[in-house]
Amino acid sequence: MNLPTVLLGNARSGDLSEVGYRSVVTDTNAAASIIYTHTDEAPLLATYSFLPIISAYASTAGVSVETRDISVAARILAQFGLADDALAELGALAKTPEANIIKLPNVSASVPQLKAAIKELQGQGFDLPDYPENAQTDEEKAVVAKYDKVKGSAVNPVLREGNSDRRAPLSVKNYAKTHPHSMGAWSSDSKTNVATMSSGDFFANEKSVVIGADDTLSIVLVGADGTETVLKESVPVLAGEVVDGTFMDVAALRVFLTEQIARAKAEGVLFSAHLKATMMKVSDPIIFGHVVQAFFPTLFEQYGEQLRAAGISPNDGLGGLLSAVGNLPEGDAIKAAVAARLAEGPEVAMVDSDKGITNLHVPSDVIIDASMPAMIRTSGHMWGPDGNEADTLAVIPDSSYAGVYQAVIEDCRAHGAYDPSTMGSVPNVGLMAQAAEEYGSHDKTFEIPAAGTVEVRNAAGDVLISHDVQPGDVWRACQTKDAPIQDWVKLAVTRARASGTPAVFWLDENRAHDANLIAKIGEYLPQHTASIEGGEGLDIRILAPAEACAFSIERIRRGEDTISVTGNVLRDYNTDLFPILELGTSAKMLSVVPLMNGGGLFETGAGGSAPKHVQQLVKENYLRWDSLGEFFALAASLEHLATSTDNARAQILADTLDRATGTFLNEDRSPGRRLGTIDNRGSHFYLALYWAQELAGQSEDAELADAFADVAAALGGNEEKIVAELLAVQGSPADIGGYYRPDDAKASAVMRPSATLNEALAIL
């Protein structure tokens, strides 16, 4: 059998290498290609091990596997002309019918992460400027503008040219039922609660308009003296587009935070703040900085001027402050003031109590969509300074979605923890296509410099939205185009029909943005229910988020499923909340993005614990990352390719991979939690073994079965030897040559330590 040659090489340099993991293939036909993204942290390290398996197996169907580097390091280098802009290339590809992209979790860099990546790249010899702390000159401002393009959710809005269909595969759900993960018991007298603002927040201040015709908007701050400052000169919009504007009243925020700090002290619970300083990269670091200042009011009253003069910002967290003040004359006094305040309380929830890392240390350490489900799963507890679990006051300033978490907490307080062996599921259809922002985290979010009125104007000068603001307020605008909304409604109807379960739009008629979406749903829903057989009889409803959550979790306890149909933020939150409760992790979800122009984007799960996994690998050569999400994404990608290119062998690869993944789960081959058990590399070996066995045993393509018979024999016959080779490296430090930009040869050697496994793959 003649199979395409697959050479593994280093895509950064273009030099072929036996140890590099990026694939260079002879067949570059885009219609038969899968793009596998090179991202960050643990998913990247897993790629060094798993991609050679993918490339070898896919080659038997004439499918090429290419890679594109969209890691935070590559995005930085691209901004300064030191690397190709792979993200822009993939963004263009995502708009074509040929797109078939597998996207692994990537770093949505906060400023501290960005600075760390810059420092590492500089140490590797790249000529990069430092991140300007307080940009003053035009040159410094230009540097900040380049780095700002890397911060936060820089990748997802570019690639997501379709809406999200995210659900637990049946094999994963069945595995969770037969092997339920641990859930902490809930007490009916638990004092854990969510605290959120009742006025002055983004929810309360939101205004929304539907654009009547294609136009170009501008955002202008009109000062009290009539002077105008253009905040955003050009915002192109299309007919039917929903445009929102809102702001966080910082004075109201500070009053709220002060009250919650006192409440946590009075109730004897841990104080914790839950934001998304990575995705909401402009607004939430500022809000996080206000949390830090509110917790240490005396410190900033006494030393605020010195801290500002030294370029030390509370937005970077308590950890950054403590590490930077050592060079100040007042450094010891500042550290003493911090220690005294922490001692007098309230106690702060901890990220790492052994190391003294608090909830306030790093803005990217406590990300709401991961931290809140973990707290709920652990009896409503977070870790205290004493290393013990305790009830917690979870402070979520903006009230838009805080009620969702409170609804789950109240349900657990009344009925106890959920039972993974019996509970239902909450899959998600999420509105995210064409940068459906809602976050307001990108180029239309501003910290207001002076009192005045922010106006959103059309090209004719008419004011569409206006807000009176004060210095320091955080104002933001968001856009949601009409075509993605129509596609979102259609996808919700399609999924409801296919699954036979209710679909609930999580929208609040009292919120301006949601009210406009509800009106559009009223227009588009009848069109799509009428166009789908049986659509008229579907159970489709609209409920405010907290009510929708209560409805869904009531059904969960009865073992029933409910589709949540949400905007972009709730998509992010719900696709962590429910999978973590149901499955123990959100990394095991199938995430398909049917691209609006016919291509496919296949996402592989969340990466919230990825940093800890990398730290463990470097310390003891053990990678606990679970690649199950990659397995599901690959199967869906192969199936899409089979359909779009009429490739029968690709369909066989997809079908056999599905069956192999079922065996993988039943045999419990996911990475263990301790040294001496198989880690990520071992899990890849077993997936390769089971997949080869399925391919060798299938009867649809005898030639393909023959090709994999030798591979299955080589892997199965050498199982003990391969596992021994993989286990032998554990326990010693591993050198991968970099955190944000590992050295390819070093990382590949670490992640492919079994010569026997590598030789077996070479058969193909």
Asked if the model's pLDDT at residue 26 lies above 80, the reply is: no
Contact 578, 423 (CB under 8 A): no
Q: Note the pLDDT of residue 24.
A: 30
pLDDT of residue 21: 32
The answer to whether the CB of 439 falls within 8 A of the CB of 573 is no
Q: 42 CB contacts (<8 Å, ≥6 apart)?
A: 607, 609, 610, 611, 613, 614, 617, 623, 624, 625, 680
| Residues 609 and 744 occupy one common structural domain | yes
Is residue 641 assigned to a domain?
Answer: yes
Return the pLDDT at 28.
33
500-534 residue pLDDT tens = 999 999 999 999 999 999 999 999 999 888 765 55
pLDDT of residue 112: 87
Beta carbons within 10 angstroms of residue 198's beta carbon: 10
More confidently predicted of 345 and 472: 472
Clarify whether residues 736 and 609 are in a common domain.
yes
pLDDT (0 to 100) of residue 109: 83
Q: How confident is the model at residue 609 (pLDDT cuts 50, 70, 90)?
A: low
12 pLDDT band, cuts 50/70/90, is: very low
Is-contact 214 458, C-beta < 8 A? no
- Summarize the confidence of residues 56-82 as an average pLDDT: 96
Residue 159 token pair = 């690639």
The 3-class secondary structure across 221-263, one letter per residue, is EEECCCCEEEEEEEEEECCCCEEEEEEECHHHHHHHHHHHHHH
Query: Are 35 and 74 contained in the same domain?
Result: yes
> Do residue 621 and residue 749 come from a single domain?
yes
| Confidence band, pLDDT 50/70/90 cuts, at residue 607 | low
Closest of 196, 193, 173, 211 to residue 556, by C-alpha: 173
Does residue 323 belong to any structural domain of this protein?
no
Convert the pLDDT of each residue in 639-672 to its tens digit. Answer: 999 999 999 999 999 999 999 999 999 999 999 9
Lowest mean pLDDT among 76-80, 150-154, 313-317, 559-563: 150-154
| The predicted structure's pLDDT at residue 535 | 56
The fraction of the chain above a pLDDT of 90, given in percent, is 82
What local confidence, expressed as pLDDT, does residue 365 receive? Answer: 87
Residue 673 included in any domain: yes
Q: Are residues 637 and 745 in the same domain?
A: yes
Question: Is residue 530, in this structure, part of any structural domain at all?
Answer: yes
Cα gap 564→185, rounded to integer Å: 26
Q: Mean pLDDT across the stretch 429-446?
A: 83
Would you say residue 503 lies in a domain? Answer: yes
Identify whether residues 447 and 498 lie together within a single domain: yes
Domain edge (last residue) among 583, 609, 635: 583
Quick one: which H or E segment has residue 298?
A: helix 297-309
Q: Are residues 542 and 603 in the same domain?
A: no
Domain membership flag for residue 71: yes
Question: How many structural domains comprise the chain?
Answer: 2
Does residue 726 carry a pLDDT above 90? yes
Residue range 104-120, pLDDT digits in tens: 988 888 888 999 999 99
* 599 and 715 co-located in one domain: yes
Spell out the residues 6+ positions from residue 179 whose beta carbon is closer than 8 angstroms to its own.
668
Structural domain for 102, as ranges: 6-106+155-161+595-761
pLDDT mean over 564-575: 94
Q: Is the pLDDT of residue 590 over 90?
A: no
| Residue 15 pLDDT exceeds 70 | no
Share of the chain above pLDDT 70, in %: 94
Q: Is residue 365 part of a domain?
A: no
Looking at the fold, whether 673 and 559 belong to one and the same domain comes out as: no
pLDDT at 489 over 50: yes
d(CA 126, CA 63): 35
Strand partners, 428: 166, 564
**In the predicted model, what is the mean pLDDT of the chain?**
91
Element (H, E) at 634: helix 628-645
Mean pLDDT (whole number) for 379-396:
97
Count CB atoms within 10 A of the CB of residue 682.
23
Domain boundary among 526, 549, 583: 583
Q: Is residue 647 part of a domain?
A: yes
Give the mean model confidence (pLDDT) for residues 185-190: 97
Using the predicted structure, report yes or no on whether residue 25 has a pLDDT greater than 70.
Answer: no
| 617 plus 523 within the same structural domain | no
- Does residue 442 or residue 581 have the better pLDDT? 581
Is residue 540 located within the same domain as residue 572? yes
- What is the radius of gyration, based on Cα positions, of the chain? 26
Where among 555, 583, 611 does a domain terminate? 583
Over residues 147-151, mean pLDDT:
90
328-to-106, 112, 116, 301, 321 alpha-carbon distances in Å: 36, 20, 22, 17, 11
State the average pLDDT over residues 451-478. Answer: 97
**N- to C-terminal Cα separation, the chain:** 10
- Statement to judge: residues 550 and 623 lie in one domain: no
pLDDT of 255 > 50? The answer is yes
